[in-house]
Amino acid sequence: MYWQEDQEDDGQQGIPADIVDLSFKVSCRALPSDHAHELWTAVRQALPWFDDEAAAGLHLIHGAESGNGWLRPEGPDDLLYLSRRTRMTLRLPAGRVEAAKGLSGQALNVGGHKLRLGEPRVHELSSLKTLFARYVVTEHEDEEAFLDDCARELGEMGIRVKKMMAGRVHRFRFPDTVIHARSLMLDGMSAEESVRIQEHGLGRGRKFGCGLFLPHKGIDPVRPTR
């Protein structure tokens, strides 16, 4: 864990609409817990431009058992059972939104499970100072080495966060490899930095659900005692 005490809040700002989240209602009983490769494959088949659009990303789908992303069914072949409130979300440049809305009404084949997409909804990014990524790709088993890598990459973006907290390791199976990732919470950046992180992401794997951040209610309730 990396932790510095807060300074004065930099306040809020208008959010640029260059990058947005486009979420779809879904109709699907269940998906494999490890569906990163299968969902990516289905999306790029439906949207041929997806892989070539550098800013495009895909949020993995989380059912009732997955809570806020820190706990999931352990086995890669275990199923996530989806509720009627479950949504599939793409992070996209604003100029790709209308094309992606064409997915509405389609059924994607995700590892043999039919995922039917309903009406889409556009969400702007947030200026909240606390962000959470369910998965950030890591080359390290060691948590401190992972946090050092994250701090270095954020520094290269001109961002110095005051607080970082990593979660446990997740493993995603691909046809020719296994990819390791950790959950990551960030806090203490400005509103402008928060938006920049959401736009650019962290690390590789944006196309299959890694490195994408969402606003979080706050890190203070889990602050370390002194």
Give the 3-state DSSP-derived string for 143-212, with helices as H, strands as E and coil as C.
HHHHHHHHHHHHHHCCCCCCEEEEEEEEEEEECCEEEEEEEEEEECCCHHHHHHHHHHCCCCCHHHCCCC
Report if pTM > 0.75: yes
Written as tens digits, the pLDDT of the chain (226 aa) is 555 555 444 444 556 679 999 999 999 999 999 999 999 999 999 999 999 999 999 999 986 544 444 455 656 678 899 988 999 999 999 999 999 999 999 999 999 999 999 999 999 999 999 999 999 999 988 999 999 999 999 999 999 888 999 999 999 999 999 999 999 999 989 999 999 999 999 999 999 999 999 998 765 544 443 3
Nearest alpha carbon to residue 41 among 92, 109, 98, 102: 109
List of residues 6+ apart from 115 with CB closer than 8 A = 26, 27, 28, 31, 39, 42, 61, 88, 107, 108, 109
* Inter-residue contact 88 to 24 (CB < 8 Å): yes
Amino acid at 9: D
List of residues 6+ apart from 123 with CB closer than 8 A = 20, 21, 22, 23, 89
Nearest alpha carbon to residue 24 among 120, 101, 90: 120
In the chain, the domains with their CATH numbers are 19-124 (3.30.70.1890), 126-222 (3.30.70.1210)
* Inter-residue contact 115 to 187 (CB < 8 Å): no
Amino acid at 33: S
pLDDT attached to residue 49: 98
pLDDT attached to residue 62: 84
Q: What is the spatial distance between Cα 22 and Cα 62, in angstroms, rounded to a whole number?
A: 16
